[in-house]
Structure 1
């Protein structure tokens, strides 16, 4: 299995279960409330680890009970936490998730200690980065830390995966040029490229845009329709698995972590890896919560039979 390092966020998810989103000026009741471990980076790491990748994490937590809780959760999932720094006087990141009966969600994030991650933290983790097969980064931590991590990875000939989320239209060209595989959803891709995803041609045009920065491997996730996958200029849609979703919170993160765990470093099995990752994601959305919903490798394999 691969060695995967995630540079990313660590959050405690506060989940508000509601029938549907309120209209402006409307007050609604909450059906129930729950808390769970989460954060884009942490979810991706747990997904990779549960698909049997040797997984390392670079990030920050606050010096609070939530930080202690999250470190235990990550350690319990066999994730190396040596490069997670506890920030004195800061709160651990939190996400407030409005979860509708349909399974769709809206998320409000309080960055907290996640935005304390700095270049020194990345420098201290250089050996870990440069001995990894894949290094993953996203945008719930400062963008410059992802750039430095990717620079270290490329210096050692290692591969990088960028999940440009939350959506951002001001991504430095330096970061894109250091990216080997980019995995945006439709909204994120449109913000980056200016191309609205409406059909397969627009997906192909988007892939050509990324190629201008040297990104030869592109996955644009398109929700229940699956993913558009482009490998060295050849693209096709890989369909999603049809399931009844109850919570889509960790679907994208599960996809990325599972993908990184089985992907060959030359990307030669990209289409098969996407099928595996899609199956993992389809299992995730059938359960509530982020960490609790992420499947183990054997569960994904069994579901593919």
Structure 2
């Protein structure tokens, strides 16, 4: 049985980044001043927002994407990818001057990565762009955003969402320690990894007790519900009065790129508005992520729902 058979198709909107990823395969991360040879180099579609949108649409959700691209070959490459998956790109617009976003991924032999980002057109998204997409946001079941696009745009989008009773999911990545209080209070669910949780709360996440402390701090900062992902170990959730932990599926990891994005896209696609099925939705998302890490690359590694069996 596929988990997909147990939930209704959602309408998801993702506000986020588009990047073309250049993946550099190396044995290990270089030391300062060191010159190293690469074993391979490849290009793939990426960007946290695009990854999350692709994950949601492949999970079976009707998905719209709000983003910006440049007028370049990289943009053509990404648009073709979106069309193949049936992603609604009505609100993916062109910037006249900035280029399409780029990411340079250092991938070591253990499957761990370090990523350098050129924001480009992603950083030109404005509140006016969000207002132009207000009807799309208002009609959604869930809105997702992250930190590779301007905070002002995220706040505007979340305001529209909350005014229309749309579930909001904030993925605070890349890590920031000065998130506006307004954005946190507009977030129904925050989904940081352990590094991002520490950056926000100042609490180092190492075990279940520290996860609970970090979640409590996030609640006091205004976030209603918290999910902290801890890589190959799984994910912790706190709904205030209720908390729990969902173990990850054990697999041989090749590349962790887009694992967190896959988790969020699949989570949003499965999660009920009252969060009553949170553990089941997290298991579904975790299973999808476990498939993602077994293939090198970002969007090409995100699975289709027919292949996500629980």
Instruction: Report what 2:55 is aligned to.
Output: 47
Residue 34 of structure 2, aligned match among 26, 31, 43: 26
Q: How much does 1:232 deviate?
A: 3.5
The worse-fitting range, judged by mean Cα deviation, of 228-237 and 180-189 is 228-237
Contact 2:288 2:303 in 1 (8 A): yes
For structure 2, list consecutive stretches of 5 or more residues without a partner in the other structure: 1-8
1:31 and 1:122 map into 2 onto residues whose CA distance is: 42
- Aligned match of 1:262: 270
Counterpart residue number, 1:113:
121
Q: Tell me whether 42-51 or 231-240 shows the greater mean CA deviation.
A: 231-240
The reply on whether 1:87 has 2:95 as its aligned counterpart is yes
Query: Which contiguous aligned blocks of 4+ residues in structure 1 show a shift greater than 6 angstroms?
Result: none
Alignment counterpart, residue 193 of structure 1, candidates 187, 196, 201: 201
Shift of 1:156: 0.5
Structure 1 position 152 matched with structure 2 position 160 = yes
Tell me how many residue pairs correspond in the alignment: 302
Q: Aligned-pair distance for 1:198?
A: 2.1
- Residue 72 (str. 1) matches residue 83 (str. 2): no
- Contact 2:181/2:222 (<8 A) preserved: no
When normalised by structure 2's length, the TM-score is 0.96
**Cα distance, 1:60 vs structure 2:** 0.2
Which residue is equivalent to 1:98?
Answer: 106
What is the CA deviation profile of residues 135-168 of structure 1, one whole-angstrom value per residue up to 9, with x for unaligned ones?
0010000011110000000000111000000000
Whether the 8 Å CA contact 2:187–2:224 is kept in 1: the answer is: no
Gaps of 5+ in 1: none
Is 1:122 matched with 2:130? yes
Q: Tell me the residue number matched to 1:168.
A: 176
Residue 231 of structure 1 corresponds to which residue in structure 2?
239
The one of 277, 295, 300 aligned to 2:303: 295
Aligned partner of 1:2 in structure 2 is 10
Shift of 1:233: 2.4
For the 8 Å contact 2:255–2:294, the answer to whether it is kept is: yes
Whether 1:274 and 2:282 are equivalent positions in the alignment is yes
Residue 57 of structure 1, aligned match among 62, 65, 78: 65
Report the aligned-residue RMSD.
0.9
Q: CA contact under 8 A between 1:17 and 1:32: conserved in structure 2?
A: yes
In structure 1, C-alpha distance between the alignment counterparts of 2:306 and 2:165, rounded to whole Å: 31
Deviations 1:24-53 (A, max 9, x none): 121110111100001000000000000000
The reply to whether residue 247 of structure 1 matches residue 255 of structure 2 is yes
Q: Which moved more, 1:191-200 or 1:172-181?
A: 191-200
